[in-house]
Amino acid sequence: MYLKTMATLAVLASAGFASAESISPQQVSFTDGAVPQSLTGEPGNPAEGREVFANRKLGNCLACHANEDLAEQAFHGQIGPMLDGVGDRWSEAELRAIVVNAKEVFEGTIMPAFYNARTINRPLKGFEDKTILSAQQVEDLVAYLMLLKE
């Protein structure tokens, strides 16, 4: 009985405080254009990642990138490279680095940083010091990108 209660509490604690265990934007470390360490310590959910990719309020990756896997979405952007086969071209650690802060990988790129620590130049009210995506959303996205193979 005692053990069982303890176990339940532990589960609750890890669910409730999952974000506290995530790596903060300040703690992310890049090695040779890669971020090997998961931001959450948990595997990402590719189905959620697909949603983050398409959703205009989340990643809105389709604004700039075409992606055959999301052919059901009417409009795909042309600003960045098309992402078909991106899971073959890059490792998981590299894709995490690109999403966290693409400027660490492509110098001066126009691709926004989705999980980096920085002072935002004139943030819109309500977006001060906020990352575009959460640690979990980044991991979900990376898990999804890894499935984009030719």
For residues 17 to 56, the per-residue mask of contacts with ligand HEC, x marking binding by CB under 6 A and - elsewhere, is: ------------------------------------x---
Residues 79-138 that bind other proteins (CB under 8 A): 79, 110, 112-113, 120-125, 127, 130, 132
Q: Which residues contact 148 (CB under 8 A, 6 or more apart)?
A: 67, 69, 83, 84, 85, 86, 87
Cβ atoms of 44 and 144 closer than 8 Å: yes
Q: How far is the CB of 13 from ligand HEC (least distance, A)?
A: 30
Residues 60-79 that bind other proteins (CB under 8 A): 60, 62-64, 74-79
Cβ atoms of 75 and 91 closer than 8 Å: no
Indicate the residue among 13 and 110 with the shorter CB distance to other proteins. Answer: 110
Q: For residue 131, which of 23, 19, 25 has the smallest C-alpha distance?
A: 25
Whole-number Å distance between alpha carbons of 141 and 122: 27
Rule CB under 6 A: which residues touch ligand HEC?
Answer: 53, 59-61, 63-65, 79-81, 83, 86, 89, 95, 98-99, 106, 109-112, 114, 141, 145
